[in-house]
Structure 1
Amino acid sequence: MSVLNALRLSHVPALAFAILGLYWGSFAAFVPQLKAQTGAGDALFGMLLLGTACGLATTMWIAPTVDRALGRWSMGVCAALLAGAFLLPGLATSPAAFFGAMLCCGMASGLTDVIMNARVSELEAHSKRPLMNANHGMFSLAYAVGALATGSARAASVQPFVVFAVLGLLVLLLARRLQMTPHDARGEGVAGTLPWGIVALCGAVVLIAFMSEAAVEAWSALHLERTLGGSAAEGALGPAMLGLTMAVGRFSGQAVSERLSDTRVVLGAVTVAVAGTVLVVLAPAPLVAYVGFGIMGLGISVIGPLGLALVGRLVPPALRTVAISRTAVLGFLGFFIAPTLMGLISQGFGLRAAFAAVALLLLVVWPLVAVLRSRGA
């Protein structure tokens, strides 16, 4: 099945993926400016980013209940919440205010993420076709576009609030196109007990993928600008390179997933991601780091989506949204761990050492996949 056909079949959730990608790509490119705006050091700024994770964990857990209450309007409401929440980081001028802003962004993102992934999983089940990588590819492509556009805005001295306000107006205009009636609208617990073993294994795979992704999103611009002496525009190319190559990897993964098992694809992807991370660690100049971040993006790109796709296929249909929400909560714990870990390691040993820790973390996926294979994945 071609990528275009996959996106045509899942065009409604694909738009939600694109909207979320635009927001986080723009945010990643603004990180150096937002960090300076709060006056926080590396370790403190890493702690402040935990506000995102707190919000994600809160709303991801209750997302199935919210989804049942809102029905076909779920994704449209999420888009409106995103438009409001992302105005706040640009207004925050103190650590406390920035933490609160990231809490709101995380809450809106958590709801959006669970609901749009659940819609794609439902479409996969009904169409009997893989769709997850194509939709996550839309997120990555939009992330890259957001980062590149924001890098140009930063170079022109446009303030974060202005960029997020313009993006919010665009999103509100598109919100009505996000209506979609759930296929599997049954309640939690109808099909029995949630298989926590499967959820935990898939959640751990998603956790490591999202930790690695979050590390690049939050710290690549700083690594390029501070460690390697790049300009603001050159710094924005770090998260943009990640987004572009993750889009390529996910769109390519859409085709590969039709020919190879999900677990084989994940194992190969980990190898590629580790190679790219090592190149980032050793990079003597921004150009080499761009190549490393690009290779990282290619590898990381398919790991998280396939972890969510696996849990969606391995649980009963009536528990699919709940299982994806719980897996996503486990996976997005990476947003608790990654900012703090990167900040602490960077404070003590530098960003090269922090990215080296990411390479070691990615290697843990191999034994997790071996266990999933033993359970019939």
Structure 2
Amino acid sequence: MDTGDCIRQNFWGAKISKKLSNRIAASAFFFLFGIGFSCWATRIADIKNALGLSDAELGGLLFTIPVGQFCAIPFSGYLVSKFGSRNILTFSILYYPLALMSLGLASEVWQLRIGLFFFGIACNLCNISINTQAVGVEKIYKRSIMATFHGVWSLAGFLGGLASTQIVKWGATPFQHFSMMGVLAVLTLFFMRPHLLPSDAKSLESGAPKSDSEKEPVLQKFKFIFDKYIVILGFIAFGSMSCEGTMFDWSVIYFQDVVKADASHIRYGFICFMSMMASGRFMADKFVMKFGAIRVVQASGILIASGLFIAVLVPSVIVSALGFALVGLGVSSIVPLCYSLAGKSKNLPTGIALTGVSSIGFLGFLMGPPLIGYVSEAFGLRSAFALILLVGLSVAFLAPRLKKSE
């Protein structure tokens, strides 16, 4: 029995297969990543109120997160390809809560802006490294399991939202709240790092030689901008991530300012969104295998648009919560499908293909939440959500183009 087997047997209480331990470890880091983001998303309203920000000012600040993510794109895929996703994930999963805690310490707008920029970098590094691990595990299983990984992320967001409601009742400050994430990150890394894949997807293919694209300098690897298939996947991810970003950053504000929910209910929309997002991701793989990716993406776009339409049309606690739940169900499978399909690219290494899709997709995070702030300032938050409705609907129209570009 080797060291790895001993660790697995001692930790889990019984010997389990290596591939199952890989899957559990990857899921644990997805869970941690989801908890961290829910910590931030559920405290945005508190930070907005504490700093006395208007909707437009908040929108401008939220713009800083995807700017940081976008600035990290040129080197995140390269670092994962060069040093391996396990090493980059080890660094980024510690850097992530430190960046988060800096947001809790911000007492001035400029401090928050700097903190959000570095938080965005941390998000991108975690995103690329953890999804590269997931692609590797999926290839070992030889079937679709990517949506389940993202379901764990969403489940963590849902549970994090519930926990946040209680933590706020206890009177914890954002910094104290975010510090709990730091403790959880250290514990997860200690117990789960030994079970991560030591080599990424390309290295798992029975000693296959490196492709020409893997041998080229990093700047030459950005050929995804000429790959129609990757670009379409990116734009589908863009539509979904615009809606996700809106829910993450503005759902609590929407319940506070438009729905006029009392303080104990303003997180209900976020919780409903995350609960259905998690549920949808745990079911998505079965639907994909039964109906195919294109039909699932089309149906998802329709669900997104329907949910936002309901929430905008009838801004009450129950109806808006139902609408946000439909949005969560709609976005649940899109990004996991995009990442999974990108990981199967025959033209690009996994890390670079994922970078290509996330580069375009994260423009949705880049443009969506700030756009909401500026439109809200001019026309009201309901009108801003109606605009995002159209972005979500575009996903359904782009899906059929995937088949033509394969």
Alignment partners' CA distance in 2, 1:7 and 1:329: 30
Q: Which moved more, 1:17-26 or 1:363-372?
A: 363-372
Partners of 1:114 and 1:208 in 2: how far apart? 19
Q: Which residue matches 1:254?
A: 285
Unaligned runs of at least 5 residues, structure 1: 1-5
Moved more, 98-107 or 61-70: 61-70
Q: Which amino acid is 1:239 matched to?
A: F
CA contact 2:301–2:394 (8 Å) conserved in 1: no
Question: Which shifted more, 83-92 or 307-316?
Answer: 307-316
208-217 or 188-197, which deviates more: 188-197
Deviations 1:119-151 (A, max 9, x none): 212222343210110000011000111111112
Q: How does 1:281-320 map to 2 (within 5 A)?
A: 281-316=312-347, 319-320=349-350
C-alpha distance in 1 between matches for 2:214 and 2:90: 27
Equivalent position amino acid for 1:230 in 2: A
Q: Report the equivalent of 1:335.
A: 365
Name the structure 2 match of 1:169: 183
**What is the CA distance between 1:100 and its match in structure 2?**
0.8
Larger mean Cα displacement after TM superposition, 132-141 or 183-192 = 183-192
TM-score where L is the length of structure 2: 0.86
8 Å CA contact 1:75, 1:116 repeated in 2: yes
Instruction: Give the conservation status (yes or no) of the 8 Å contact 1:57–1:332.
Output: yes
Residue 198 (structure 2) aligns with: 181
* CA distance in 2: counterparts of 1:249 and 1:70, whole angstroms: 33
Counterparts of 1:182-197 in structure 2, within 5 Å, are 182-183=199-200, 184-185=202-203, 189-190=213-214, 194=224, 196-197=227-228
How far off is 1:7 after superposition?
A: 7.4
Deviations 1:269-314 (A, max 9, x none): 1111211111110224212111111111011111111112122223
Q: Deviations over 1:220-263 (max 9, x none)?
A: 11111111221233111221111111000110102212222111
Matched-pair contact (CA < 8 Å) for 2:298–2:397: no
Q: What is the CA distance between 1:182 and its match in structure 2?
A: 2.2
Distance 2:22 2:182 in 1: 26
Aligned letter for 1:226? Answer: D
More deviation, 345-354/224-233: 224-233
Work out which of the residue numbers 225, 229, 232 in structure 1 matches 2:260.
229
User: SS of the counterpart of 1:258?
Assistant: helix
Q: Deviations over 1:8-58 (max 9, x none)?
A: 662222122111110111211111111122222111111111111011112
Aligned counterparts of 2:20 and 2:178: Cα–Cα separation in 1: 26
Q: Is residue 325 from structure 1 mapped to residue 355 from structure 2 by the alignment?
A: yes
Q: Please list the CA deviations of residues 208-227 of structure 1 after superposition, one character each: whole Å capped at 9, or x if unmatched.
A: 10110110111111111111
Q: In structure 1, what is the Cα distance between the partners aligned to 2:232 and 2:352? A: 16
Q: 2:304 aligns with which of 273, 288, 295?
A: 273
Supply the distance in 2 between the matched residues of 1:295 and 1:247 (Cα, whole angstroms): 12
Asked whether 1:88 is paired with 2:118, we answer: no
Q: 1:349 aligns with which of 359, 372, 379?
A: 379
| Residues 107-128 of structure 1: CA deviation (Å, up to 9, x unaligned) | 1110010111112122223432
RMSD, aligned α-carbons: 2.0
How far did residue 93 of structure 1 move? 1.8
Using the alignment, how far apart are the partners of 2:250 and 2:157 within structure 1? Answer: 15
Tell whether the 8 Å contact from 1:7 to 1:135 is kept in structure 2 after alignment.
Answer: no
Matched, 1:27 2:40: yes
Aligned match of 2:15: none
| Alignment match, 2:24 | 11
CA–CA distance in structure 1, aligned partners of residues 332 and 82 of structure 2? 32
Gaps of 5+ in 2: 1-18, 204-209, 217-222
Question: Which range moves more in the overlay, 210-219 or 249-258?
Answer: 249-258
- Partner secondary structure for residue 164 of structure 1: helix
Within the candidate set 47, 57, 62, 1:44 is matched to 57
Counterpart contact for 1:25–1:240, Cα < 8 Å: no
SS class of match (1:364): helix
Q: Which amino acid aligns with 1:59?
A: A
Which one of the candidate residues 327, 344, 367 is aligned to 2:397? 367
- Given residue 296 of structure 1, which amino acid in structure 2 is its aligned partner? V
How many residues are treated as equivalent by the alignment? 371
Residues 151-185 of structure 1: CA deviation (Å, up to 9, x unaligned): 22223321000011112111111113134312325
- Provide the rounded CA distance (Å) in 2 between the counterparts of 1:233 and 1:59: 37
Amino acid at match of 1:204: F
Shift of 1:339: 1.5
Confirm or deny: 8 A CA contact 1:83 1:171 kept in the other structure.
yes
Q: How much does 1:358 deviate?
A: 1.3
Corresponding residue of 2:152? 138
> Deviating runs (4+, > 4 A) in structure 1?
6-9, 185-188, 191-195
TM-score by length of 1: 0.93
